Amino acid sequence: MDSTSSEIALDYSPFLRTYKDGRVERLMGIHVVPPSLDPDTNVQSKDIPYSQEPNLSSRLFLPKNTDPNQKLPLLVYYHGGGFCIESPFSPHYHNFCNILAAEANIIIVSVDYRRAPEHCLPAAYDDSWTVLNWVASHVNGDGPEEWLNFHADLSSVFFAGDSAGANIAHCMAMKYGEQKLSAINLVGIVLIHPYFWGKEPIGNEVKESETRSKIEGFWYFAYPSSSGSDDPLLNPATDPKFGSLGCSRVLVFVAEKDFLRDRGWYYSEILKKSGWGGSVEVDEAKEEDHVFHLFSPENEKSKAMIKSMASFINQKDKS
């Protein structure tokens, strides 16, 4: 056996390791569950391809007792994992979407996208835009997926994600603001513990130089050709087009003990100053850490997050 097969090139434990022979060993987010009819929420799920080249699918979630005469808001959800691990088929993302679909009475398209380092950014951004075009193809009720044809209200669309997925949701809303998809009306985005960063430390980041270097290193690992921590994809404050964010409402969740907490608050502050005309609110969970809701869904603060998301999605905009 080639000795390089066991030699570690980069160790990003507890997330993943890479080896000198090119092998990638993921240490988290490797378990998957099949789609099903969930007995606790009565939400039904199924996996549907949205791209042939590359071959990618989304997991769709449909709540019980859908009225054929009433179309439901559609949420496009992007999973987290530093652009490198996890999938919409992992147990905690599957569970989270079941609970949210039932609570909010919405259809969810949970997106699988190519991951680094085998497929470095911008692959995940490209795939995330591809799925939106696939969703838009259902506007006349003759798209490839019957659940979207019959039940999805494409005039009431939301993007959401956690951590790196929240970064993707923001970037898709920016691209939507610039390019538009006339078949989709993007109402709002929900950013859960969003992965944003920047060269200059803010807030408590000043005290965390070691953590800062790890986060910066992870970004370069996922996007080697990036311009760095002030890349507008990672630091919206550097984006001259930030004010053209393509929705009217934003909800940001932060957690008090999360190393990304200050970036979530900062995002809301600079968005308000950008010339964007919508409304943004921040919801902070005290005594909690990064993506706590995925690992402790029965936590009262996790339940409160779900209820806040449901309320945000179902809020009727004033005409």
| pLDDT tens figures, 217-253 | 899 999 999 999 999 999 999 999 999 999 999 999 9
In a domain, 206, yes or no: yes
Q: Which amino acid is at 248?
A: S
The arithmetic mean of pLDDT across residues 153-175, rounded, is: 98
pLDDT, residue 3, reads 55
The CATH number assigned to the domain holding 47 equals 3.40.50.1820
In a domain, 73, yes or no: yes
pTM, 2 dp = 0.96
Q: 37 and 141: one domain? A: yes
Listed as own residue / partner, the contacts of 272-278 with beta carbons closer than 8 Å and 24 or more positions apart are 274/242, 274/243, 274/245, 275/243, 276/242, 276/243, 276/244, 276/245, 277/248, 278/245, 278/247, 278/248, 278/249, 278/250
In a domain, 5, yes or no: yes
> pLDDT (tens digit, 9 = 90+) per residue, 279-306?
999 999 999 999 999 999 999 999 999 9
Tokens of 160: 């959401």
Q: Shortest CA distance to 162 belongs to which of 312, 25, 294? A: 294
Tell me the C-alpha distance between 309 and 250, whole Å. Answer: 11
Tokens of 19: 């080896």
pLDDT above 70 as % of the chain: 97
Catalytic site residue from 163, 227, 302, 319: 163
Q: 177 and 276: one domain? A: yes
pLDDT, residue 68, reads 79
The arithmetic mean of pLDDT across residues 81-107, rounded, is: 97
Q: Which amino acid is at 236?
A: P
Q: 5 and 95: one domain? A: no
Q: 19 and 157: one domain? A: no
Q: Can you state the percent helix, strand and coil of the chain, rounding each to 5?
A: 35, 25, 45
Q: 15 and 61: one domain? A: no
- Residue located via tokens 């921590």: 229
Longest dimension (CA), the chain: 68
Q: 241 and 146: one domain? A: yes
Q: Give how many domains the chain has, as a whole number.
A: 2
Strand partners, 39: none
> pLDDT (tens digit, 9 = 90+) per residue, 166-183?
999 999 999 999 998 999
The arithmetic mean of pLDDT across residues 197-208, rounded, is: 92
Q: 227 and 310: one domain? A: yes
In a domain, 78, yes or no: yes
Range of the domain at 26: 1-30
Residue-averaged pLDDT of the chain = 95
In a domain, 319, yes or no: no
Q: 70 and 83: one domain? A: yes
Separation of CA 173 from chain center:
11
Confidence of residue 319 (pLDDT cuts 50, 70, 90): very low
Separation of CA 70 from chain center:
27
Q: 10 and 75: one domain? A: no
User: Torsions phi, psi of 228, nearest 5?
Assistant: 125, -165
In a domain, 115, yes or no: yes
Q: Which amino acid is at 63?
A: P
Q: 6 and 22: one domain? A: yes
Phi-psi map region of 21: left, alpha, beta (phi>0 left; psi -120 to 50 alpha): alpha
In a domain, 264, yes or no: yes
HSE-up (13 A, CA, CB side) for residue 245: 33
The arithmetic mean of pLDDT across residues 310-315, rounded, is: 97
Confidence of residue 4 (pLDDT cuts 50, 70, 90): low
Q: Give yes or no: 244 in active site.
A: no
Q: 17 and 91: one domain? A: no
Burial of 210 (0-12, 13-18, 19+ CB in 10 A): exposed
Instruction: Decide if 268 contacts 250 (C-beta within 8 A).
Output: yes
In a domain, 162, yes or no: yes
pLDDT, residue 186, reads 98
pLDDT, residue 207, reads 87
Strand partners, 110: 59, 77
Which positions ≥6 away from 291 have C-beta within 8 Å?
Answer: 80, 162, 163, 192, 193
> pLDDT (tens digit, 9 = 90+) per residue, 24-69?
999 999 999 999 999 999 999 999 999 999 999 999 999 997 787 8
Q: 7 and 64: one domain? A: no
Considering only CA atoms, give the Rg of the chain.
19
